[in-house]
A and B are shown apart, each in its own frame.
Chain A
Amino acid sequence: MASLRIEDLWKSYGAVQVLKGVSLSVGEGDVVAVIGRSGSGKSTMLRCINGLEQFQKGRIEVAGHMLDGSHSGLRELRKEVGMVFQSYNLFPHLNVAENIKLAPRVVKGVGKAECDEIVVQVLARVGLSDKAYAYPDELSGGQQQRVAIARSLAMQPKVMLFDEVTSALDPELTGEVLLTIAELAKAGMTMVLVTHEMGFARRVATHTVFMNEGKIWEEGPSEELFANPRTPELANFIAPDLK
């Protein structure tokens, strides 16, 4: 059963056509990497999936929720679709535990004791059990991003979206975040990752999608796609990375 199905998605900003008929299917437990040049529409596609962007045409079905570009039912969908951003976007006035607890508490009405349990669980999963009472500005970028992942996990999402989550990090901090994501992949989380980390996409993602000019140019099992690109655009795109 598909956890996420995108059918013929079209999106424009004014006269600029960003997505030109994107269709994609992601099965339960799949880890899909979306690669491509800046401006190819990959982040926009990801943001359409949880309704942060509206679109003009097409359909998105995710975790059993239907999206048609309008705003109805978005909150129900977002309870089950987590998103992690490039710039972490932790709430700076709340400490780590409060960042994590906020949504379960106010959106789902989870009780205090259970919230505390969730905090312990998700922080253990991202390896930051000792940071529950730190404030975001006391943490490194890599740690902040892991907290952002934990915060998203606290809602027990069925699908997680990662929007270039290591792009703002120094190379030495990228590894710890990728490791966290790889752990989630191993645990069977359904994930879509927009990423520039080709090596990571190849190793961790079950599928890779190459976007170009607002379309899905090429897709397939990661190993195969990277080993034998069928289009010259993909071959060009990944060539410098493989040298």
Chain B
Amino acid sequence: MIQDFGWSSVQFLIMGLTWTVGLSAMTFVLGGFFGLFLAMGRALGPNWLKLVIAGYIQIVQATPLLIIVFLCFYGLSFLGLHFPPFAAAAISLAVYATAYLADIWRGCIEAIPKTQWEAADALALSRIQRLRYVILPQALRIALGPTVGFMVQIVKNTSVTALIGFVELTRAGQLLNNMTFQPFHVFLTVAAMYFALCYPLSWWSEKLKERKSGVSAH
């Protein structure tokens, strides 16, 4: 059944867009949660833990995201763990985001000078208090720009989950193209929607980075 690209097509794409946004948000929340623990373990933990986390980060960063998605969807179902596409997509993207966010944040924690630890130490703050009141707030400030920048990567990379049949924006575009045979209309609209989502994030990320360098140049 062939239909023309029209308002109903755009509505269909907007539905895909909301799934892209939802998956991105979920990825960011899960990746952020686990990434924070891994970042702290990588920066401050005992040596064996640092090694384990570094290994995880290396492996995930060296694997194409699509392979992680396939492993979660097809691989785990082979082991008897059947996930619906949305769950498999969320799990694999979380695995991916965890590794990258852990690496970004580790760098931010390590960027805080040792003298800040010492000053907090000399004031009798406990290890947890030093992290909570002195190190993490400063690391967070440095981390904001690159973290928002990475959110752009997350949004764009949710598109690979189209390949396991999860109907986010890209998959919605594919489906629509099959119905309308108007690829330029469809995919330019899809691209415009990604742009509308990513550009504000990029812009915000740059703003945050500028503010940071503005302060340090003071």
Across the interface, name the chain B residue whose C-beta is closest to A47. Answer: B118
Q: Digit string of A54-83 for contact with B (CB within 8 Å is 1, else 0)?
A: 000000000000000000000110110011
- Chain A residues with CB under 8 A of B123: 78, 102-103, 107, 151-152, 155
Q: Which of A3-11, A89-97, A199-207, A214-222 contacts B (4 or more CB under 8 A)?
A: A89-97
A92 to B142, CA, bound (A): 12
Within 8 Å of chain A (Cβ to Cβ): is B71? no
8 tightest A-B contacts by CB? A89-B119, A78-B124, A103-B123, A83-B122, A79-B124, A89-B115, A107-B124, A137-B218
- Chain B residues with CB under 8 A of A152: 122-123
B119 interface neighbour in A85, A107, A155, Cβ under 8 Å:
A85
A137 to B218, CA, bound (A): 7
Given A91-B134, A93-B138, A106-B133: A85 and B124 within 8 A (CB)?
no
Across the interface, name the chain B residue whose C-beta is closest to A138. Answer: B218
Within 8 Å of chain A (Cβ to Cβ): is B211? no
Q: Digit string of B158-195 for contact with A (CB within 8 Å is 1, else 0)?
A: 00000000000000000000000000000000000000
Given A102-B133, A106-B133: A85 and B126 within 8 A (CB)?
no
- Chain A residues with CB under 8 A of B82: none
Given A93-B137, A93-B138, A137-B218: A52 and B118 within 8 A (CB)?
yes
Does the CB pair B124–A75 fall under 8 Å? yes
Within 8 Å of chain A (Cβ to Cβ): is B207? no
Does the CB pair B137–A78 fall under 8 Å? no
Within 8 Å of chain B (Cβ to Cβ): is A195? no
A residues in contact (CB < 8 Å) with B: 50, 52, 75-76, 78-79, 82-83, 85, 87, 89-93, 102-103, 106-107, 137, 151-152, 155
**How many residues on chain B are close to A (CB under 8 Å)?**
19
A82 to B218, CA, bound (A): 29
B124 interface neighbour in A52, A90, A92, A155, Cβ under 8 Å:
A155
Given A93-B141, A106-B133: A50 and B122 within 8 A (CB)?
yes
- Chief secondary structure at chain B's binding surface: helix
Q: Digit string of B205-218 for contact with A (CB within 8 Å is 1, else 0)?
A: 00000000001001
A92 to B112, CA, bound (A): 11
Task: Jot down 30 A-B pairs with beta carbons below 8 A, ordered by A.
Answer: A50-B122, A52-B118, A75-B124, A76-B124, A78-B121, A82-B122, A85-B115, A89-B118, A89-B119, A90-B119, A91-B116, A91-B133, A91-B134, A91-B138, A92-B138, A93-B138, A93-B141, A102-B125, A102-B134, A103-B123, A103-B124, A103-B125, A106-B125, A106-B133, A107-B123, A107-B125, A107-B129, A137-B218, A152-B122, A152-B123
A89 to B138, CA, bound (A): 13
Q: What's the least CB distance linking B143 to chain A, in Å?
A: 13
Does the CB pair B119–A91 fall under 8 Å? yes
> Which B residues, 105 to 161, have Cβ-Cβ distances below 8 Å to chain A?
115-116, 118-126, 129, 133-134, 137-138, 141
A5 to B190, CA, bound (A): 74
A106 to B120, CA, bound (A): 11
- Chain B residues with CB under 8 A of A155: 123-124
| Most chain A beta-carbon neighbours within 10 Å: one of B115, B119, B122 | B122
A68 to B146, CA, bound (A): 44
Does the CB pair A87–B133 fall under 8 Å? no
Q: What's the least CB distance linking A120 to chain B, in Å?
A: 19
A21 to B125, CA, bound (A): 30
A103 to B124, CA, bound (A): 7
